[in-house]
Amino acid sequence: MRLVDSTKLLELQNKPTNIRNICIVAHVDHGKTTLADSLISSNGIISQRMSGKLRYLDSRPDEQERGITMKSSSISLYHGVDQQEYLVNLIDSPGHIDFSSEVSTAVRLCDGAIVVVDVVEGVCPQTRLVLKQAYSENIKAVLVLNKIDRLILEMQLTPLDAYVHLTQVLEQVNAVMGELFATEVFENEETTIEKQQKKEELNKEDNNFYDWTSALEDADDSHLYFSPEQGNVVFASAVDGWGFTIHTFAKLFSDKLGVKEEILKKVLWGDFYLNTKSKRFMKGAQEKAKKPLFVQVILDNLWNVYETIAMRNEKEKVPVICEKLGIKLTTRDLRHTDARIQLQSLMVQWLPLSHTVLNMVCRKLPSPKEILPEKVEKLMCSRIRDFDSFNPETQKLKEDFLACDSSNDKPIIVFVSKMFSVDKSMLPENKPKALTAEEMALRRERARQLREEMKQNNEAIEGAPLEEKKVDQEKEVPEVEDDKDQPVFIAFARIFSGRVRKGDKVYVLGPKHDPSKVLNTNFQVDSNKKLKDLMSDEHITYTEIKSLYILMGRELEAIDEAIAGNIIGIGGLEDHVLRTATLSSTIACPAFSEMQYSVVPILRVALEPTYPSQLPQLVKGLKLLNQADSCVQVLLQETGEHVLVTAGEVHLERCLEDLKNHYAKIPITVSEPIVPFRETIVEPPKIDMANEEIDSQNVIDKEIDKEVDPVITVYTNNKQSRIKIRARPIPSEITNLLDKSTDLLKAISQHIKTLQGLSKNNKLESKLEELELNGTKHRLSDRMLKLIQAFKDELQSICSKQGPEWKDVVEQIWSVGPRNCGPNLLLNQTGDYATKYLHHEIDIKEDSRFEYEGSFVNGFQLASLAGPLCDEPMMGVAFCIEEWTLEKDSGEDGSHTFGPLSGQIMSAVKDGCRKAFQAQPQRLMAAMYSCDISVDQKVLGKLYAALGRRGGRVVGSDLQSGSASFRVQALLPVAESFKFALELRTHTSGLAAPQMLFSHWEVIDIDPFWKPRTEEEYLHWGEKWDGVNRAKAYMDSVRARKGLATDKQLVQHAEKQRTLSKNK
């Protein structure tokens, strides 16, 4: 029975200071949903006995079957503390690595987070990830140390050992927080120093000293750590429904011990003990081998209750314990045969978990009104954008964010973090309404009258209504089918400013919307346009808000208006929002910065309908799936294949399930997983496959070892242009830097395109004058210039360590690829042609080759996007252009024979790059997963065997403190990872569970075209080697899938067949 109805929740929505938007984050299986159940039961939505068993927020059938959460879902709860009433918007998020994009969408909407840690497993990889996500979004966190019952019943620790174990776990969590804090301080150190220098310039005195202190020493980290005495740590067992903070016991024991509550709060955690003679609290319990107060006052009592009831099952002592604790158990509970249920009933009354956690949330976590200015700036501008580069009109909105005001004159700012689908029947407007007493009486009366009429003239009336009903039903059927056909999308949103009402007209701003491009022009928004009608450079639509909902877990409740600071559902936006968007009453509002997803979608499958005639349904279903899932990518290949890219196997299974049952509703055929590879080149190897030096041996197979000139010369078809290209492998440090700086490189390429577009215009001078008036439109912001400078400095410092040939790389960079932001370089080493990439401010003198520069760069982009081995993108390859001549004959134009010169140059560069690539030792690169596996000691050997079979390798393993399980870190190729989790569970009887996250690309250290060629190799493998070459097998499988030629021969040695019956 619900204790609070929706009118009360609506009333509380109007007080932003008493709203708490929080999410529960943790590693998989650490007890988030059980904790959420406990909090929900405090509002009477589910029964206290069912909390932990029901998993109320896991509303999908597959979530219930697997026992893991797959989507973040929200519920609004009421809580009263300190004579104040609070509204808590609670979001439960998944812990599985495949669904960590859902954590990002939840964290973006919240002001606070509850981090749950299993005390037995300690800090796991996903715990680190969620702490990092929460920290990067400037969210304050509180800690719940869960599953303390496992320390008593499973690990059977003594109270003192348990205390030591708890301090270690707390230390681990705080170490992660400290690491995050230090990283951020060092990143921001440069800007802090600059500000200080400006200040010093203002108050200049003759100070001849240098400040050597680090920014870390001045930074304030007092608010950062979790410590029980501050009251931001709860010790709990969610499955048994109890939890406490230090303050809970300080309140309980202050009277018994005759000590002030304030003093107890300070000494209950830490190295304090009670001196029985002097009746004083002393420091140094460990030194003097005394029991710390935390053990003496709290843990001893807990252990006694558990040992008496759960371990020794002494039923007669239960009433005595209840009397001492001042608890009344029902006779049903006292008679219950299951000791654990008795224990739960007792603990829930003594130390109720929901009460403790919600008290801590309301007291320790901030309200929407307390949003930090740094968080607002992070939301409003991305990492490479400077807040000061926005228009004054846009900058003013920062004050509205901070005010979180809902008065009518304030602008509406709403952020939609994801779209989620619900069945039409679940919407409040489509549910049957409950009848009032009068309506029921009327219906009874009508039924009585009908019965009487039917008695009076039986036959005449009996047929008519049936016929009418049939006619009615026939009319209704098509509409109902139409309704059921399509799921409805609700936007999961938070209001940051203003008041939103049903029927309000708002602008929907896409993620790429830039207010500075729109505000200076007379921009008009066409109100009839939807998302699919927009051009590539348009990001604004105009729409009406059709419906608003309070999110109540599995249900929605319709409301007419909502105000700033609330998390709500908005209906009717499916045609205007793809995944995320910003709704605002002003175009000056910037699109919120992109959410940082920690998982890269890497697992691809190709889909087709089982019956080809159902292709339109599949396309429609994929569109809906793309909208509903923020981590899925849907691609249409050039071959016409529909490809689905997902984060992992569990995610893929969920997506396919949704497609078959909800979105496309057709049977689907799924291909084997498509594995991405990369192509690269390496330095010529010094050692052969038999681990012998190549130089000291005779090379037998001369054919293979013919010296190939590494410099490739190519001509355009009409022989007007000659290009010399050499390919070189890039050192891994530079590749990593390029990979890390993709956002920056993209922005530079975009800027260069804009400049090139301008320079092609004849009236360059007048254009530039206009630009100067226009402010920063075509000049990079200061922050961007600083980032470019930092990138150049870092690149220079790496290159200076690499050797003489990399010395001037920073000056020579012409482009990066593929797609203008990849890990390959085009280097300009011609003596006579100047290009500018990182040095965009330098003016270039006129050159006839300049107009073909775009084509040249595009040729390189095409080559780096599809390498010669199996049409996969290249990685870590530098193409050095050593010569580029262009002799344009003005007399005759050969374009009618060979096509335009720009196209010829593009083709020539592409072929040249591919040939230069093939002139070097080629290698494939495989994607690698980093696996984190918690495994029981007994089955460690089986885990190693399973990894060995799949070409994985163990990087490290360590015994987890206080338990018999190991944590193993391993690397596994993505190509070999399918069904790995299943195999592991089968072989280890469920005692090992892997979490796989994409880590990096690794070179497969064997030439795909390898044959024995040195003496040692001939001795070892013979003339014809027919073993399995891993790289060749991967390459051939990709080529076969793409329809490229492979050198597989069906018949090796063909002879005429002789039959035995006729000797011919």
- Asked if pLDDT for residue 212 goes beyond 80, the answer is no
Averaged pLDDT, 609-637 = 93
Are the beta carbons of 1037 and 1029 closer than 8 angstroms?
no
- Asked if pLDDT for residue 862 goes beyond 60, the answer is yes
Instruction: Give the global pTM.
Output: 0.85
3-state secondary structure of 972: strand
Percent pLDDT > 70 in the chain is 87
3-state secondary structure of 948: helix
Q: How confident is the model at residue 758 (pLDDT cuts 50, 70, 90)?
A: low
The span from the CA of 500 to the CA of 573, in Å, is 14
Write b or e for each residue in 151-167: b if 16 or more Cβ atoms lie within 10 A of its Cβ, otherwise e.
bbeeeebebbebbebbb
The span from the CA of 403 to the CA of 564, in Å, is 9
Would you state the pLDDT for residue 1013?
80
The first and second tokens of residue 331, run together, are 């006779």
Nearest-10 Cα torsion for 638, 640, 642, 647: -20
Closest CA to 747 of 375, 394, 378, 389: 389
254-283: pLDDT as tens digits: 888 888 888 989 899 988 988 888 778 888
- Asked if pLDDT for residue 777 goes beyond 60, the answer is no
3-19: pLDDT as tens digits: 888 888 888 998 899 99
Q: How confident is the model at residue 760 (pLDDT cuts 50, 70, 90)?
A: low
Handedness of CA 384, 388, 392, 395 (dihedral sign): positive
How does DSSP classify residue 359?
H
Residue 915 CB partners (closer than 8 Å, separation 6+): 712, 714, 725
- State phi, psi for 671 to the nearest 5 degrees: -75, 175
Would you state the pLDDT for residue 211?
52
How does DSSP classify residue 244?
E
- Asked if pLDDT for residue 326 goes beyond 80, the answer is yes
The span from the CA of 1060 to the CA of 834, in Å, is 76
Closest CA to 9 of 54, 45, 52, 49: 45
Residue 916 CB partners (closer than 8 Å, separation 6+): 710, 711, 712, 725, 726, 727, 879
The span from the CA of 292 to the CA of 282, in Å, is 10
**In the predicted model, what is the mean pLDDT of the chain?**
84
Are the beta carbons of 927 and 998 closer than 8 angstroms?
yes
Would you state the pLDDT for residue 698?
64
Give the residue, 766 or 378, on which the prediction is more confident.
Answer: 378
Averaged pLDDT, 284-309 = 91
Are the beta carbons of 411 and 589 closer than 8 angstroms?
yes
The span from the CA of 519 to the CA of 497, in Å, is 21
- Asked if pLDDT for residue 893 goes beyond 80, the answer is no
- State phi, psi for 210 to the nearest 5 degrees: -115, 135
The span from the CA of 996 to the CA of 933, in Å, is 9
* Residues forming a β-bridge with 623: none
Query: At which residue do the structure tokens 């015994």 appear?
Result: 959
- State phi, psi for 545 to the nearest 5 degrees: -80, 115
Pick the range with the lowest mean pLDDT from 21-30, 156-165, 546-555, 1013-1022.
1013-1022
Query: At which residue do the structure tokens 């690269």 appear?
Result: 680
Q: What is the DSSP secondary-structure string of 139-187? A: -EEEEEEE-HHHHHHTS---HHHHHHHHHHHHHHHHHHHHHHHHHHHHH
Closest CA to 571 of 410, 416, 434, 411: 416
Averaged pLDDT, 390-403 = 87
Query: At which residue do the structure tokens 């922050």 appear?
Result: 783
Are the beta carbons of 716 and 908 closer than 8 angstroms?
yes
The first and second tokens of residue 1060, run together, are 């035995």
- Asked if pLDDT for residue 545 goes beyond 70, the answer is yes
Percent pLDDT > 90 in the chain is 42
3-state secondary structure of 377: helix
Averaged pLDDT, 1010-1028 = 79
- Asked if pLDDT for residue 705 goes beyond 90, the answer is no
The span from the CA of 102 to the CA of 238, in Å, is 23
The span from the CA of 439 to the CA of 13, in Å, is 32
Handedness of CA 350, 351, 353, 358 (dihedral sign): positive
Q: Is the peptide bond before 818 cis (omega within 30 degrees of 0)?
A: yes
Averaged pLDDT, 652-666 = 93
Q: How confident is the model at residue 462 (pLDDT cuts 50, 70, 90)?
A: very low
Pairing of strands 112-118, 84-92: unpaired
- Asked if pLDDT for residue 1053 goes beyond 80, the answer is no
The span from the CA of 523 to the CA of 588, in Å, is 12
Q: What is the 3-state secondary structure (H, E, C) of 534-567?
A: CCCCCCEEEEECCEEEEEECCEEEEECEEECCCE
CA separation (Å) from 59 to 5, 92, 555? 21, 12, 10
Amino acid symbol at 143: L
Angle between helices 742-759 and 732-740 (to 10 degrees): 70
- Asked if pLDDT for residue 1056 goes beyond 70, the answer is no
- Asked if pLDDT for residue 127 goes beyond 70, the answer is yes
Pairing of strands 233-237, 140-146: parallel
Q: What is the DSSP secondary-structure string of 449-506? A: HHHHHHHHSHHHHHHHHHHHHHHHHHHHHHHHHHHHHSPEEEEEEEEEESEEETT-EE
Would you state the pLDDT for residue 1016?
81
Amino acid symbol at 842: I
Write b or e for each residue in 349-366: b if 16 or more Cβ atoms lie within 10 A of its Cβ, otherwise e.
bbbbbbbbbbbbbbbbbe
Averaged pLDDT, 126-152 = 93
Pick the range with the lowest mean pLDDT from 975-979, 1025-1029, 1048-1052.
1048-1052
Would you state the pLDDT for residue 378?
86
Give the residue, 362 or 392, on which the prediction is more confident.
Answer: 362
Averaged pLDDT, 739-750 = 85
The span from the CA of 314 to the CA of 376, in Å, is 57
- Asked if pLDDT for residue 476 goes beyond 50, the answer is no
Are the beta carbons of 764 and 778 closer than 8 angstroms?
no
Query: At which residue do the structure tokens 């990979």 appear?
Result: 739
Pick the range with the lowest mean pLDDT from 262-276, 369-383, 658-672, 1018-1032.
1018-1032
The span from the CA of 1021 to the CA of 241, in Å, is 66
Q: How confident is the model at residue 769 (pLDDT cuts 50, 70, 90)?
A: very low
338-359: pLDDT as tens digits: 888 999 999 999 999 999 999 9
Helices (H), 278-338: 293, 300-306, 318-325, 331-335
Would you state the pLDDT for residue 774?
34
Amino acid symbol at 696: S
Angle between helices 339-350 and 318-325 (to 10 degrees): 10
Would you state the pLDDT for residue 718?
85
CA separation (Å) from 236 to 48, 167, 466, 917? 16, 15, 62, 60
Would you state the pLDDT for residue 710?
83
The first and second tokens of residue 1014, run together, are 């040195």
Would you state the pLDDT for residue 784?
80
922-943: pLDDT as tens digits: 999 999 999 999 898 889 999 9
